[in-house]
Structure formats: C-alpha cells, structure tokens
Amino acid sequence: MDCIFCKIIEGEIPSYTVYEDEIVKVFLDVNPDSNGHLLIIPKKHILDINEMDANTWTHMLEITKKMRKLLETKLQIDGLTLIQNNGMIQEVKHFHLHLKPFYRDPQTILPVEDIYEKITH
C-alpha cells in the first residue's frame, strides 16, 4: 500500500506525534494552516467516512476533546475548527480529521519543530 499515513503509523516516515494509542495517532501537520494544526488518524486504514465504524469514530472524538484541552493549555488557542474531507477533496486517501486552532490575534506560522516543543514540554 502506498499510503503516506500508513507509512507514518509504521514509522517509515517520521512525524511530530503528540498522542498515540492502539486505535489512533495524532501528529502535527507539517504544512500547517495555523500553529498547532493537528491530524488525528485511525491506525487501521480506513478510506473515508463511508468506511468509518462507530467505535473508531467515537474514540477519535474523545481524543479530539483531549487534544483541544492540550492546545488550549499549551498554545492558548481561542477556538478550534474540525475538518474532515471525502472524495475528490480528500488529498490523502486515509480517513483523517484536521484540528485547526483559531487565534483571536493574528499569528505568524512558526516552524513545526517549535510548536512540537511547546506542546510536548
């Protein structure tokens, strides 16, 4: 399989992982739209919303809540947008949920390494 997210899960491609368990992996988007832009992906290859099972989806939503608290605490975000694409607009054909932080004041996009340090320490 030539799926970039499966390769990240297997450790073939490095990632800035901020959370991982037996069901999901959460890591920083390397091309962020805002500081702290996270991706939550199931470890099982699931193409899109049509293939998503209820248990995995429920777990992903619980982890989303935890990640929101982490972003609020570490980066002082003012809001959070959740995005999940399907079909032609789904760039990577592996189900994933974007968590895009919102900041009241305009932010300069910092290097991912710097945001990783802020979130993990």
User: Using 50, 70 and 90 to split pLDDT, how confident is the model at 78?
Assistant: very high
- Topology of domain 4-120 in CATH is HIT family, subunit A (3.30.428)
User: Of 37, 45, 96, 98, which one is the catalytic site residue?
Assistant: 96
96 is catalytic: yes
Whether this prediction's pTM lies above 0.85 is answered by yes
Q: State residue 83 phi and psi, 5-degree precision.
A: -135, 135
pLDDT tens profile 91-119:
999 999 999 999 999 899 999 999 999 99
